Amino acid sequence: MELVTGRAGSPHITSQQDRQKHQGIWGDGAYILATGNQLEPQVQSSNKILIKDGALMFQGAIFSVKVGTTDEITINNGNQGMQRKDLVVARYTYDSAQQKESAEWIVIQGEPAARNPVAPSSTSGDIQEGDTTVDCPFMIVNLDGINVTGVDIIPEVAPDIPTLNAALSNIRFEVIESTSYYVKKYENGCFEAWAKTTVIGTHLSFTQIGTSGIYYARVTNIGIGIRAKEVYDIEYTPQNNGIVWGASPSMNSNMSAIDGYVVQYGADKTRNTNIRVHVTGKWK
């Protein structure tokens, strides 16, 4: 056991240990880091591509193009009437004799084909295990005749912490609950609330619609457990043993409870009515 982040009286932290830390955060795959110009390629001509500043994380190792600079990559001439795919890799090299590690861009030229050319393969390996040459495929350069028609970046851009936090705010929520409601209060300002109540039949004051035999009664103050700033949708469902439905649900004046109507066939007050509501909106 060794304490990496501690004083030892002499230099002792190794690149392998640094890669362990990075692998614990990003994994051992390949990602462009959200810094600088994110290694954006710029096609200058049929033979030259510039790669802007940025950083690439691969197997815990960081490959960097210095801030404010560009790297130049040379592409060999294409062939008239033929198509080709060249593979650009970030190549890690370990010189065991010199105990030195280094990195460089390498272009692996593909085979020309009349159509549907295939990108060449690269050298795989495990940097942490001490392999001397390991390639990280970075981009495919597409050629049609003598022209570079485009490049396809292979690694994804890894989101930084602010980006992750913004994304997580859409799914992180606080739960507010009681026996009559359950609320998901999301960090991004949205909410979703479910509430229930039972109205005693004798507490309903029914009014008949003409001579239709259909009656309605006002129900108020069904608390939803949160004060809304804005409401997107209200689902309002009464249930009892008769023919019943809900009508005109709305937020009350303090935006924390639902008012609505119970509509039923007949004015029977012996049945209790269970009401369920589902409300979505914003709390801030």
Every domain of the chain and the residues it spans = 15-158, 162-282
The domain defined by 162-282 carries CATH number 2.40.50: no
* Beta carbons of 256 and 222 less than 8 angstroms apart: no
Cβ proximity of 80 and 51 under 8 Å: no
Partners of 88 in the beta sheet? 107, 139
* pLDDT value at 242 more than 90: no
* Reduced DSSP (H G I as helix, E B as strand, rest coil) percent helix, strand, coil of the chain, to 5: 10, 50, 40
Q: How far apart are CA 273 and CA 200, in angstroms?
A: 7
pLDDT of 25-46, one tens digit each?
999 999 999 999 999 999 999 9
Q: Mean pLDDT score of the chain, rounded to an integer?
A: 95
d(CA 145, CA 113): 10
* Distance in Å from the first CA to the final CA of the chain: 50
What pLDDT sits at residue 168? 83
| 4-43 exposure pattern, b = at least 16 Cβ within 10 A, e = fewer | eeeeeeeeeeeeeeebeebbeebebebbbbeebebbebee
Superfamily of chain region 15-158: Phage fibre proteins (2.60.520.10)
- pLDDT tens string 137-151: 999 999 999 999 999
CB–CB of 121/140 below 8 Å? no
| Degrees, nearest 5: CA angle 57-163-30 | 15
The answer to whether residues 257 and 277 touch, using CB atoms and an 8 Å cutoff, is: no
Stretch (H or E) spanning 105: strand 100-108
Instruction: Measure CA 182 to chain center.
Output: 26
Average of pLDDT values for 240-246? 91
Q: Is the pTM of this model over 0.85?
A: no
